[in-house]
Structures are given as C-alpha cells and as structure tokens.
Structure 1
Amino acid sequence: MSQSRFPSKDEVLSFIRSSTTPVGKREIARAFKLSGSADREALKDLLRDLEADGVVERGRNKRMAPPQALPEVAVLLVTAVDADGELSARPLTWTGEGEPPRIFVLPEGNKGRKQDHKPHGDGRALGVGDTLLARLARLNDRLYQARVIRRIDGEREGRILGVYRPSADGGRIVPTDRRHKTEFLVLPPNRGGAEAGDLVFADLLPAGRAGQPQARVVERLGSTEEPRAFSLIAIHAHGLPTAFSHAALREAELAAVPALMQREDLRALPLVTIDGADARDFDDAVWAEADADPANAGGWHLVVAIADVSYYVRPGSALDQAAYERGNSVYFPDRVVPMLPEALSNGLCSLRPGEDRACLAFHLWIDRRGVLVRHRLVRGLMRSVARLTYEQVQDCRDGRTDEATAPLADPVIAPLYGAYACLAAARARRGTLELDLPERRVRIDERGRVAEIAARERHDSHRLIEEFMIAANVAAAEVLETRTMPGLYRVHDRPSMDKMEALRGFLAEIGHPLAKGTDLTPEHFTRILRKVEGTSQAPLVSEVILRAQAQAAYSPDNIGHFGLALHRYAHFTSPIRRYADLIVHRALIRTLGLGVGGLDDEALGRLPEIGEHLSDTERRAAAAERDAVDRYTAAFLADRVGERFSGRISGVSRFGLFVRLDESGADGLVPASSLPDDRYDHDEAAHALVGQRSGRVFRLSNPVRVILVEADPLSGSTLFRLAESAA
C-alpha cells in the first residue's frame, strides 16, 4: 500500500544529507514508506532532478550522497598523529575540488589511546604513511570519522618534502606540510648525502620495531637557510614543472617577429601597456578615441591588442607541450614559474615599448551606455609607445604627470578614462557581483627577505584595464558563439541550491531577507553589500556571500558567468600566462581564417579534457602561490611571538577559529582548546562557535585581539590565542 503523501524534494534531500553514508533508492523508499511502481517511478524522477540541480551525486553503486561525498568504504593514507595519538587521514585518491575532507581515525574500541591503533592485533601501532581500508561515516561536508577494517600490506606509501636535521641516531626529517605532525627517522644509510637544513624529498619506509616512522632521502633541493627557499618549497610541494625541454627552449630562441605581410599595421596607433610596477610580462596594450560616427554619438572606439602567442607556439610543438603541462604561469613574491620560456614570455611576446610585436587586436565599438555594439578582430603588428604603471596613470589622471605621462595625458590617457566611464556605468547597470577582496602583496628586499606585507592598492586605473579586458573577452566569446566555433569559455555557475538556501537563511537571520522563490542574481547580493557598506556587518556579509559562490572553470559548454552577470565570456587577454587564452586565440584564428596557428582537429576533440586540465592547473597554481605567501608571512612574523594584534575571525570550525590579522593579512588558528573556559558547539549555519555554559558567541568576521603564539616559516602555519584569555 502506497504512502498517502509523496515526499517533497527538500525532504528527500534532507534525508540524504543527514545520512552518515551514501543511500540507495531502497533506503529512501523504506524511510518514506513508498511502495508500488508509481512511487518508484516518481522517486526515480525526483532523484534525477536532484542530480540535475547538482545537490546530490550518484556513486558507482547508484547510491546517492551530497556532492563530493566520500564512499562508505575507502582506502586512506594516514597523514598525522597528534600528541594524544589520534590519527588524521585523507583519501588515497581525491578528484574533487579543493582540499579533501578531514578524516579522524577512530581507535579500536574508540578509547582514544595511542596503543589502541593496532588493527587486528598485528603488533604495530598505525602511523603516518600507513594505508588503511576503512569504513567512513560523514559528520558534515568537511569532516568524516573512520573505523579501520584492515591495514593494507602493512607498508608505508608516499613521498614527503621536508627539512633534514642531524640527530644522535642518524637524522630526522621535519615535513614542510603543516598536516604532518610526525618527524621521520633517517638512519645513516638512508641519509643520501643530506646536510643540516637541506630541503629534501624522502620516501616513506615501514616503521622500525619501536614504531618510529622512517624515511629515505632521495633528492636534495637546496638549503632552507636561503631566504628564497619558501617559494621553492611551494613549487616542489605542489609538483609545479620548472624545467623546459631543450627542444622547447630551442624553438623559443629561434623565434622572430614576423613580417607585416597580411597583418594589419597598428604601429601608428599610440597603444600603451598599463601594469603593476612589479609586472614581469606585458601581454596587453590599449588605446581609445571618441567614435567619429554620428550614429554613435557619445560612443567610443577601443583597441585591445594582445600578444600573438599562437604565432610562436604551434599545436603539437615542444613549446605547446610544455605550455599545456604548466597550464599557466605561477607568481611568487620572489620569482615566476612561467608558462613559456623567457625568450618568449619576457621577450617576443612581451609588448615592450618601441619594439615591433605580433598581436591579435580587437577593435571594439561601445555606445554612450557602455554597451558593446560591434567588434572586429585583426592579426596585426603593433609598437607600444609606453610601458606605464597603474600608479603613473592614476597620478596623471589626478593632475600629477611625469616625464612619461605628460605627453600622453590628453591624447591617450584622457580618452581611456572616457571610455572607461561608459564601461563602468554598464557594469553597474548589469548588476555585477562586487566583492571587496583585498590582496596581500609581499615585498622582498635585495637579500630575499620580507620587507613589507600590505594590501595592494586599487585605483581607477586598475578598474580601467579590467573593464577593457572584460570587453575584449566578451567579444571573443561572441565570435565563438555566433560562428558556432568550439572553444573554451570561462564559466562561473550560480551557487548550488543548498548553498543558496543556506545563504538565504543566514542573511534573513541578520536582517537582510531575500524573497523565497526569487531567481537570485549577482545584483541581489550587490544591493545587500551596498546596504551594509561601512557598517560592522559588512565584512561578515561579504565573507558569507563569497563562500556561497561556485568556482569558476574552463569549459567548451557555455553556461555564462554568474559573477560578472554575462551570458558569454572567454579568456582572451593573457596568452603569455594562461593556456586557455591560447586555445581561444587558436579557435578565433581558425574560424576567421587569420592564418597559421589555428586550433587543430586533435584539440577540438579534446576540449572538455583540456578545460578540466586547465581548471586543475589553475587551482594548483593558486594553492602554491597561497602557500608561499603563508610561509613568507610566517617568516615576517617569526620574531614577533608574544605581540598583540588586531584581526577578524576569517573561519570557524569545530577545531577553533581562524583569524586574519588587519596589519599583514596573515591567517592563523586559535585552537578551540585555548578559548575561554567553556565547551563550544559549532553552529555551522551561523558560522559560529557558541559556549555551552556562557552562551558566548565567536562568529565569522567578528573583530578580535590575539597574541601570536607561534609562526613557523617552514610549514607556513601561525598560531594565536585570544588576548583576553592570556595569563
């Protein structure tokens, strides 16, 4: 007999989320007392809808779970053992976005003592590097607990990056990964010639009789006494390719600027590059004039010229293979790991002033409202008239010219700002999501040490270039779409249903409700951000809206760009440092018949795979850059242990509070165990820790005063305690 009321999507979704393991249709039907073919078909349709909404995923055995959930049984690698003997682990394989969920390994009998971690009485305690078969229970999206089924082969797997320290019994390796809490014994035969302070790669070995984890040095990378070692650690920890093949270097060195031939001659146009003072390459140049067409009164004619990397880097070449492997350039405070060899990235593809350069250039016409009305792409030859910085251009606009900007102020810089005003107005009308996300800038002195950490300044000159680049990227996407030419779009999906509902509920709690059933757009969020601007709520609202957003990615399937409120968008403007832009250049060259270097048939058939690879390399680069900045920041703070700092809570977990310092932007942990005397519950929906007895609330973005307890440059980790709880 069928149930009188069929469950709603929300009820079924809630049941799937609340389950500690993935569930199948049988469990769902049993839970809601469903029976009969009609109910089964309706349930099948409902689950298909939930999958389409992206709020659940179907595993290999057709069991449903929240997106990126781990399976019920998995192989784990033990990554850390704390002072109490509690083990942390991660999945041996992880293909999801970002870091994998954290996994706590329950001791046998769940007594919590170190000696209890001996699965099936094999006589040796589990430790870092052990691989386990375990049964998982999901506590929340980012946390699991595991019960060991058995150790796999009793062998330690994997390789670590660490620092070699001599000791009486041979040596120790201190891992650079902050997740590793265990040092590894290196016996004399396994030293591999390592000296004190060397950064080394080491293979994990089975533990000795005493249970001490061991390792063998397999490669020495240099001394950590060098102040520039922090970037080196990040490069190797994230597996960034650093060496070009001889064939790729030779191709780059033999390259030359092409003759004019069929190219459009743009050398008479006073194009300028505008970049940061510390920019290493210049791949875009701009120019603007008032449109002389009476039919477009008040409109503008823009030119955005981009280095023609596709002329030098041909499909299937050694250069192409190297660029694809890297996916993008990676920028550290003291160095760059470039996508292309220096002969191209800082040479022929860098739009240096006074030198002929091959380019792809969009002529863009916008009306007085900033709407792109038409465009034309040409393959050209250009010659930049000046390399300007953002600060120079802004100073010129504010009436402070220098030797470089004085002759350009009226004929070149003023029209750029005129066109920008129209583009900025169009952006505001479009309702783009405007999040204020300060970026840390680490300034390194001549000795390679941190001289200063400060937020990067943002001027209208920065926004001017951004809007010109966005206009060119939109034009590139329009060409691909109107000519049905496959390529790679830069896509940014709307927030998932569960994130949107959680955000809606949170905003309502703090007095900013969003109407149920409303199809939320970036403009809805921007209105709220403007409403709280200048208030104590502003950091909190900005942070929770940011956390609700999906990750941008590269895909041949155009779903639009939610954050920019654009129906079509493709990265076109940075082919020196992004392979995705090179793909777009090649697609445009092919569909418009602009000569050599077009997209080949082999790449056409692999665009989904290429998009996934480039999305992955982009995330890898971001993680490496962030890790290096964290290490430099920890080094900057290392001699200030014991000092008080002001900051804001930047994250909340059951383990404690993450605090971002106002002064330097450094992030660190305040462990829950160090909070004022109480037991704290984690209210995930409210982004808060709440004291059980005191009722005291520590909420995301709350201002706090903290004392620096530890700053470890090796791991990039920083620990604080609240100033008020200090003895």
Structure 2
Amino acid sequence: TARIHYGSDGSRRRIDIGLTRIRSRASLAYEHAETFILEDGYAPPSERVSDDTGAGELQTAVRSMHSLATLLRRRRRELGSLFVQRPEREFRFDENGDVGEVHLREQLDAHWIIEEFMLEANRAVAETLQRARLPLLWRIHESPDELKVEQLSELLQQFDVKWVPGNPVTGHDYGELFAMIQDRPERGLLHLLALRSLMKARYRAGWDRHFGLAFERYTHFTSPIRRYPDLHNQRWLHRLVLCSSSDGWVDQAPRAAERLAAARLSRPADFDVAIALADHCSERERAAQRIERDCADICAAAAIKPLEGERMEGMVVSVLRSGLFVELGETGLDGFVGVEQLGRDWFSLDRAGHRLVGERTGRRFQLGQTVSVLLEYVDVAQGRVWLGGFELLSGPGHSRPDQPDQAEQEKR
C-alpha cells in the first residue's frame, strides 16, 4: 500500500509504503459515486454497500476524495500533463447476451478521482524505488518526433486551427491545442490526430521522463492482477519492505538498498532479466490493445447489423489515393469509400497527402468532412462494414466545391 500524506494545497508531505491488509467498506459503481459528488442529498445505498456503512459517511468520504483529486489534477495541469478527451466505446447487452447498443461512455468525475489516485500511487512508488536502485520495469514516454509535430501543425491549418508549438514541444503546447479544439464539431478527430503525433508509451529497465504525464519518474504498481509489470515491481517492493524495517513499512530507501545488496537479493543478472521483460511486456501490451480494439469492432458491428440498407452519418477520418475511410459516429467503426463513388472526375492526392482533389471540378474530399453513406453490408465476425451511396454534407472544403485548390492550380 502507498499511504501518501498531503498538505492543504495538494502538495505531498510524506510517502509511506508498506505491507497492509485492506478492509473494503463499500463497493460503488462509478455512477453511484457520482451522485455523492453532485447531489445535495445522496442516493439510496446499493445492494453492494455493506450494512454497517452509512450512506452519509460514504458521501463525506467520496466528496473528500473529489476535493483532493481536484487539487492533484490542477497540479498535474500546471506540470504540463496531457488530458486527452477521447471517450471509449461502451456496449449494452440484452437478456440473450447479444449486443443491443453502442455508445460513447460519459466521462464522470468519479472516473478521474480513481485515475488521479492511481497516478499518485504509481508516481510515489516510482520515486521510492528509484532511490533503491532496483531492477524495475519503468513506464516511459519519449518526447514527440519534431517532424511529426511539424506535420500536425500543418495539418491543423486545414481546420483553421493555428497551433504554433515551442521547440522543443511541451505538454503545455498540447494542452493549449486541446483547449483550442474543445468546442469543435470534429474535436474527436483532432484529438486522434494529435495522439498520432505522440510516441507510444512503453516499458524500459531504466527510468526516464514520461512526456504525457510530465513526470520525471513513473512506473506501474496499482494493477498486479491485470498487468505483469505491476506484479514484477510489487515483488521487488515487497523485498524492499522486508529489508527496510521490521514493522512492515519502508524506512529509508537508500538504507534498504544497502541491505538488499548485502543480502545479495539484487544481482546484475536481475537487471538483464528486467531488460528482456520490458521489451516483452511492451510487445504484449500492443498485442492486447489490438485484440481489445478488434473485439470492440466486432461488438459495434453486431450492434448496427440490423441497420443494413439504411443511411448513416459519419466523418472522413483518413484519406488515401484510392479513396476515403469514414467513421460511423459513436460506433467507432470505419468503412472504405472508393474514389469511384466520389463522382465522374479524376481525383489525385494533394502534396500533403490529406485530401483528394478533382482535376476537372476541383471538388475536395478531406479529413473532418461530415458525410452520409449507405450501410451496404456488415461483417460481424470481422468487425467490418462496406459503405456506398456517398454524399458530402459539410466540413472543410465543402463550401467551395467547384473552385480548384490554388496549390493544385499552381502545380498544374
């Protein structure tokens, strides 16, 4: 357990890490906890709340947690942490276990209370264990590639978003970008484009700065039942606690490190194992993310299977020489629309590779445009859709369909 003491301004005063037993006083759904935060009264206790815990006591505890989480979130924002607002898909199943509905999950305050507390625990453990010089699996996130940042800035100009990041780019720069696009109808796409410009977080045997969180040191500790790096780090933390003091709490990490070395519990070979584990866990994480995405696509396809033959609205999220990919609203599914469906013209990809331009008509098809398509076929097993009946509704470039792009005129 990481027991962290804070001042009234949310600053950390002391970190205690030790072996504990936790007594669960209540088990709340996020929606139930949200009522404690937002309402003057409180919702009736759910069946999962233990009988000896009053709802009033729960409300006081949850509201105290919310106050602290708000302070922690504010301090992270000051550091330059990124706050990505791209909702996840959520599915509802009927009584037969079939997918009945897909929608984007609402982001509640109760969600980020838990997020802030987990980040704090992970960070506290990282700082404690770094001083002990143990063979851990660190979570790192390198700074974005300069070329990708430059390309993102140029791409955003198509949406009339003038983003001029610093060199080197910082989390504050991305924070300004997210604030600029917050009220845009295509904000989901713009968030995705910004995320694509970032490096992927990964595990490494040596610590380094985490760009996305703006933390100097960070590791994973809070979820040993679902992530192996957390379990690996907890094993070493357990050794550290046992060698540090007799009362089950870490005393001073440097002194504990000396005891570990004297006991030969940490050997050079352990660091070689950590290096191999970091690469393996990073690869397995990417594989798990692909599987999770594929499963979500299959569920989304099952949800809209009954809509075959009907029209749906979507947004252009990718442009290729051969056509466009259109994302179908909250389903998160995207389908391909070939250039042959765009009209009787010869379409070429512009120099930046972000839009198709008709040689004869000057019509432009690009990222962020809202379109209407016919849902021709849904392959549930593959989580894929086939689209037809393409119609452009609105978006960048829609208001001047008959005027060739100036850059294209100059090129010709």
Q: Deviations over 1:216-248 (max 9, x none)?
A: xxxxxxxxxxxxxxxxxxxxxxxxxxxxxxxxx
Partner of 1:499: 148
Report which of the two structures shows the higher radius of gyration computed on alpha carbons: 1
Q: Secondary structure at the match of 1:501?
A: helix
Distance change (3 Å), C-alpha of 1:652 and 1:469 = same
Partner of 2:323: 656
Q: Is the 8 A contact 1:635 1:713 kept in 2?
A: yes
Partner of 1:578: 227
Partner of 1:371: 11
Partner of 1:531: 180
**RMSD across aligned C-alpha pairs, in angstroms?**
2.4
TM-aligned CA deviation for residue 684 of structure 1 = 6.6
TM-aligned CA deviation for residue 550 of structure 1 = 0.9
Q: Is the 8 A contact 2:337 2:390 kept in 1?
A: no
TM-aligned CA deviation for residue 502 of structure 1 = 1.4
Report the Cα distance in structure 2 between the residues aligned to 1:413 and 1:557, rounded to whole angstroms.
37
Distance change (3 Å), C-alpha of 1:394 and 1:653 = same
Distance change (3 Å), C-alpha of 1:511 and 1:460 = closer
TM-aligned CA deviation for residue 659 of structure 1 = 1.5
Distance change (3 Å), C-alpha of 1:481 and 1:445 = same
1:624 to 278, 288, 291: 291
Report the Cα distance in structure 2 between the residues aligned to 1:461 and 1:665, rounded to whole angstroms.
24
Distance change (3 Å), C-alpha of 1:365 and 1:611 = same
Structure 2, unpaired ranges of 5+: 249-259, 393-412
Partner of 1:140: none
Report the Cα distance in structure 2 between the residues aligned to 1:428 and 1:688, rounded to whole angstroms.
35
1:646 to 298, 309, 313: 313
Matched, 1:443 2:92: yes
AA of the residue aligned to 2:83 = E
TM-aligned CA deviation for residue 559 of structure 1 = 2.2
| TM-score of the aligned structures, taking structure 2 as reference length | 0.81
Report the Cα distance in structure 2 between the residues aligned to 1:721 and 1:594, rounded to whole angstroms.
66
Q: Is the 8 A contact 2:371 2:391 kept in 1?
A: no
Distance change (3 Å), C-alpha of 1:539 and 1:691 = farther
Partner of 1:402: 44
Q: Is the 8 A contact 1:686 1:699 kept in 2?
A: no
Q: Is the 8 A contact 1:454 1:665 kept in 2?
A: no
Report the Cα distance in structure 2 between the residues aligned to 1:376 and 1:717, rounded to whole angstroms.
50
Distance change (3 Å), C-alpha of 1:377 and 1:613 = same
1:415-430 aligned within 5 A: 415-430=64-79
TM-aligned CA deviation for residue 537 of structure 1 = 5.5
1:89-488 aligned within 5 A: 361-399=1-39, 400-403=42-45, 404=49, 406-488=55-137
Report the Cα distance in structure 2 between the residues aligned to 1:591 and 1:663, rounded to whole angstroms.
47
Partner of 1:512: 162
Larger mean Cα displacement after TM superposition, 362-371 or 433-442:
362-371
AA of the residue aligned to 1:468 = F
AA of the residue aligned to 1:363 = R
1:681-696 aligned within 5 A: 681-683=348-350, 685=352, 687-696=354-363
TM-aligned CA deviation for residue 689 of structure 1 = 2.3
Larger mean Cα displacement after TM superposition, 568-577 or 526-535:
526-535
Q: Secondary structure at the match of 2:177?
A: helix
Distance change (3 Å), C-alpha of 1:366 and 1:653 = farther
Partner of 2:256: none
TM-aligned CA deviation for residue 432 of structure 1 = 1.7
TM-aligned CA deviation for residue 555 of structure 1 = 0.7
Q: Is the 8 A contact 2:319 2:354 kept in 1?
A: yes
Distance change (3 Å), C-alpha of 1:663 and 1:474 = closer
TM-aligned CA deviation for residue 547 of structure 1 = 1.2
Q: Deviations over 1:69-97 (max 9, x none)?
A: xxxxxxxxxxxxxxxxxxxxxxxxxxxxx
Q: Is the 8 A contact 1:365 1:375 kept in 2?
A: yes
AA of the residue aligned to 1:673 = E
Q: Secondary structure at the match of 2:27?
A: strand
Structure 1, unpaired ranges of 5+: 1-360
Q: Is the 8 A contact 2:134 2:266 kept in 1?
A: no
Report the Cα distance in structure 2 between the residues aligned to 1:518 and 1:618, rounded to whole angstroms.
31
Report the Cα distance in structure 2 between the residues aligned to 1:633 and 1:539, rounded to whole angstroms.
18
Q: Is the 8 A contact 1:506 1:686 kept in 2?
A: no
TM-aligned CA deviation for residue 511 of structure 1 = 4.3
Partner of 1:64: none
AA of the residue aligned to 2:8 = R
TM-aligned CA deviation for residue 411 of structure 1 = 4.0
Q: Is the 8 A contact 1:396 1:402 kept in 2?
A: no
Report the Cα distance in structure 2 between the residues aligned to 1:455 and 1:537, rounded to whole angstroms.
15
Report the Cα distance in structure 2 between the residues aligned to 1:430 and 1:722, rounded to whole angstroms.
48
Q: Flag the structure with higher strand content.
A: 1
Report the Cα distance in structure 2 between the residues aligned to 1:688 and 1:699, rounded to whole angstroms.
4
Q: Deviations over 1:134-154 (max 9, x none)?
A: xxxxxxxxxxxxxxxxxxxxx
Report the Cα distance in structure 1 between the residues aligned to 2:225 and 2:113, rounded to whole angstroms.
21
AA of the residue aligned to 1:658 = F
Q: Secondary structure at the match of 1:610?
A: helix
| Identical aligned residues as a percent | 33
Partner of 1:724: 391
1:707 to 361, 368, 374: 374
Q: Secondary structure at the match of 2:331?
A: coil
Q: Flag the structure with higher helix content.
A: 2
Partner of 1:254: none
TM-aligned CA deviation for residue 694 of structure 1 = 2.2
Larger mean Cα displacement after TM superposition, 555-564 or 439-448:
439-448
Partner of 1:36: none
Q: Deviations over 1:180-234 (max 9, x none)?
A: xxxxxxxxxxxxxxxxxxxxxxxxxxxxxxxxxxxxxxxxxxxxxxxxxxxxxxx
Report the Cα distance in structure 2 between the residues aligned to 1:559 and 1:448, rounded to whole angstroms.
45
AA of the residue aligned to 2:203 = Y
Report the Cα distance in structure 2 between the residues aligned to 1:537 and 1:716, rounded to whole angstroms.
24
Distance change (3 Å), C-alpha of 1:441 and 1:722 = same
Q: Deviations over 1:400-456 (max 9, x none)?
A: 322247143344212111211211211221222222111111223332311211111
Q: Is the 8 A contact 1:579 1:614 kept in 2?
A: yes
Q: Deviations over 1:359-418 (max 9, x none)?
A: xx1111233333333211010112111111111100122223222471433442121112
Report the Cα distance in structure 1 between the residues aligned to 2:85 and 2:364, rounded to whole angstroms.
25
Q: Deviations over 1:658-690 (max 9, x none)?
A: 212224332222223322222222337352222
Q: Secondary structure at the match of 1:386?
A: coil
Report the Cα distance in structure 2 between the residues aligned to 1:481 and 1:634, rounded to whole angstroms.
46
Q: Secondary structure at the match of 1:380?
A: coil
TM-aligned CA deviation for residue 588 of structure 1 = 1.7
TM-aligned CA deviation for residue 619 of structure 1 = 1.0
Partner of 2:339: 672
Partner of 1:170: none
Partner of 1:555: 204
Q: Is the 8 A contact 1:630 1:716 kept in 2?
A: yes
AA of the residue aligned to 1:375 = I
Q: Is the 8 A contact 1:379 1:594 kept in 2?
A: no
TM-aligned CA deviation for residue 657 of structure 1 = 1.6
Distance change (3 Å), C-alpha of 1:494 and 1:645 = same
Q: Secondary structure at the match of 1:388?
A: coil
AA of the residue aligned to 2:78 = R
Larger mean Cα displacement after TM superposition, 699-708 or 663-672:
663-672
Report the Cα distance in structure 1 between the residues aligned to 2:201 and 2:242, rounded to whole angstroms.
30
Q: Is the 8 A contact 2:2 2:15 kept in 1?
A: yes
Report the Cα distance in structure 2 between the residues aligned to 1:432 and 1:532, rounded to whole angstroms.
17
Report the Cα distance in structure 2 between the residues aligned to 1:648 and 1:507, rounded to whole angstroms.
16
1:588 to 216, 226, 237: 237
